[in-house]
Amino acid sequence: MKNISKKAVKKLATGSLKVNGGKYSVLTFSVILTTVLFSSLFTVMGSLLSEFRDSSMGQYNYLDPAAALVCAAALVIFMFSGYLIIYNIFDLNIISDMKEYGLLKTIGTTGKQIRSMVKQRAKRICIIAIPAGLAIGCGIGGWLLPMIGRFINTVGVGKGHVHMSIWIILFTVVFSYITVVISSTRPCRMAAKISPVEAERFTGRLDKKGKPKRKTILVVLSLTLSLVMLNSAHTIINSFSTEAFAEDFIAADFCVQDALLDNAGARDKNVNAVDDAFFAGLAEQEGVEKTGNLYLHHGDHVFPQATWSGIERYFFSDETVKMQIETFYADGGYSVNQYIKELRDKRSMEGNTYGIGELVAEKLNDIRTMDGTSQIDWKKFSSGDYVLAERWQYASDGFLDIVSAGDKVEIEGREYTVYALVDIPMVIEYPVYAPIECNLILPEDEYLKVYGECSPMRTLIDVSDDKEQAFEKWISSYTGETALSYISKQSVTEDNRSFGELFATAGVLISVILGMIGVMNFGNTMIASIISRSRELAMLEAVGMTAKQQKRSLIKEGLRYFTYTSVLTVLLSAILNVTAVKTFVNELPMFTWHFSLSALMVCLPVILGVVLAIPALAYKKLRRRSVVDRLRTE
């Protein structure tokens, strides 16, 4: 028999889409949902990445590996979710069209042509669905960006704005199309291989009990994924506290500095930003109790021979230090010993020299003075003969001493004695670190003598409680019109609250989309099962089985999916809660982890309602056709 032409194949594919528009609209909607997931993710990622890009150097200043890992994980989850729904619905549509493919084979259509027909349908669905999903997803990404932008360190003037590019559109289109191709490959192959006789008798891949084979795991996974993510998001949100940890993020009532100082993406930071104009305005404010300045100068520190010998003996002999040098400095045959020898020849190390006022000295941590006390005697320290040395931090709670209290060091040719070893609070120190550096601290007056008159990097301010609100209003207005920014307990609390809202919004949004995918998978599986078994159901009805009994049987099948989903969801949510979620939450100071499955207690009854409703509604629609009609045509 002569094969049909390529033109005929294309017409058949187009005609089938028009005739079966309602059926294929579900598949179209599933592709739209998948594209929404990809486009919202790529819009956020692309816009943030453009903020990290230095316009003058054409290079990326900073990209947090953890953020990149989170984005990669989100991409894998979204692609898997898209695959679950598209594959399932595509497979069900192929099954329902199997008799059509059998008839086409009887008139000479080859397996290759049927494969081409199915691919044509997929392409036409993509032409409609992908642009629609792209537009919706970009809108969602643009809505989320201002919230995300508040917590991402970037330098662009359009921080938190959408930066669309051809690459964002291309990545979205490619990933969505690849997902459709992967999802349709197996159903397409099945349609191409089936013989006309098999197609005529085909009622779907059902087991002995009449239930679709291999569908249970896909439906259960799809429903479980959305519920596990929703519960995890709820646990994170529930662990959030807006004020409990605000004190850990402030060193004083108010801290003023350049707006880009703590921006990880800024290349040139202004370390002399708190100028005379600010101090003039500050002098007019009521309730100011104390102020303290923090100055910074970066350069090399020279050490006398006796001090350097101790540094080599105790600091550079430590395995942690050697590992750090090997990781960051020893490259291309450049060894740890060569690095240390170069420093030995100059007896110097790079580092910062800080100048601090008395209020800043009160905020220092882990103080160990040469007198054996844990408090700095400001009068003694500010005499001009002493410096403080910051301990070298190699981990979140790991410290090593570079020098010891009582050692001699040199700053700009003048010798000082190390009065104490200290730790500068992270919220006020210079936010740029070298892998190996030695930081020394001078009292404010001595610092200005050594380096000349200059403006502070930061200024700490303590205000009386009754004037704090009025002062916050003034400083917020002042910094809003200048290049300065400020940190206070209220600003940190508001940022924490916004951070929690961001988690809530993103978590719920993703969970809702994944939940829709799960429900659609369940609904299509149940409907396909009922359609595939319609002749069987009609025969049972003809021999006396009532509609109520049939409906009860179908509902039991839905309850089977619900039972599997409930057990798997509770187990996975509990395991994830005490492992990944707990670890993530404990890394965030504004969160306190609390085990919770309360989101499941709310959502599972809703899923149960859907599980009971869909089979009942599908069966009701099926029974609109008479028993005779179903027996004759199926």
Q: What pLDDT was estimated at residue 50?
A: 57
DSSP secondary structure string for all residues of 474-497: HHHHHHHTSSEEEEEHHHHHHHHH
* Region of poorest pLDDT, from 12-16, 106-110, 294-298: 12-16
At 160, the pLDDT band (50, 70, 90 cuts) reads very low
d(CA 589, CA 570): 27
Give me the percent of the chain exceeding a pLDDT of 70. 67
Residue whose C-alpha is closest to residue 222's, from 327, 353, 78, 113: 78
User: Which residue do the tokens 């004759």 mark?
Assistant: 632
Give the model's pLDDT for residue 158. Answer: 46
Q: Which residues on neighbouring strands pair with residue 420, listed in sequence order?
A: 369, 388
Angstrom distance (rounded) from CA 555 to CA 563 = 12
Tokens for 32? Answer: 């739209």
Query: CA angle 250-255-260, nearest 5°?
Result: 105
- The SS3 call for residue 403 is coil
DSSP classification of residue 4: P
Pair 265, 51: CB distance under 8 Å: yes
The yes-or-no verdict on residue 240 having pLDDT over 80 is no
170 CB contacts (<8 Å, ≥6 apart)? none
Question: In degrees rounded to 5, what are phi and psi of residue 164?
Answer: -80, 145
Q: What is the pLDDT of residue 7?
A: 52
Pairing of strands 365-369, 408-411: unpaired
Tokens 């882990």, residue? 366
Q: What pLDDT, on a 0 to 100 scale, did the predictor assign at position 586?
A: 73
pLDDT number for residue 271? 93
Contacts of 387 (CB under 8 A, 6+ apart): 409, 411, 416, 417, 418, 419, 440, 441, 442
Average pLDDT over residues 316-331: 87
Give me the pLDDT at residue 112, please: 77
For 300, phi and psi rounded to 5 degrees?
Answer: -95, 145
The pLDDT score that the predictor gives to residue 426 is 86
Task: Give the pairing of strands 254-258 and 458-463.
Answer: antiparallel
Check: CB of residue 231 under 8 Å from CB of residue 571: no
- The candidate with the shortest Cα–Cα distance to 522, out of 229, 223, 228, 226, is 223
Q: Is the pLDDT of residue 290 over 60?
A: yes
- Residue type present at position 569: T
Higher pLDDT, 143 or 417: 417
**How far apart are the C-alpha atoms of 291 and 282, rounded to whole Å?**
10
Distance in angstroms (rounded) separating the CA atoms of residues 571 and 564: 11
Using the predicted structure, report yes or no on whether residue 157 has a pLDDT greater than 50: no
> Could you give the CA distance from residue 515 to residue 558 in angstroms, rounded to a whole number?
16
**Angle at the Cα of 524 from the Cα atoms of 520 and 528, rounded to 5 degrees:** 175
Give the contacts of 132 (CB within 8 A, at least 6 positions apart).
32, 35
Contact assessment for residue 343 and residue 349, using Cβ atoms and an 8 Å cutoff: yes
Of 402-406, 427-431, 582-586, the range with the lowest mean pLDDT is 582-586
Q: How confident is the model at residue 156 (pLDDT cuts 50, 70, 90)?
A: very low
Residue 475 contacts residue 389 (beta carbons within 8 Å): no
Nearest CA among 480, 474, 477, 452 for reference residue 461:
474
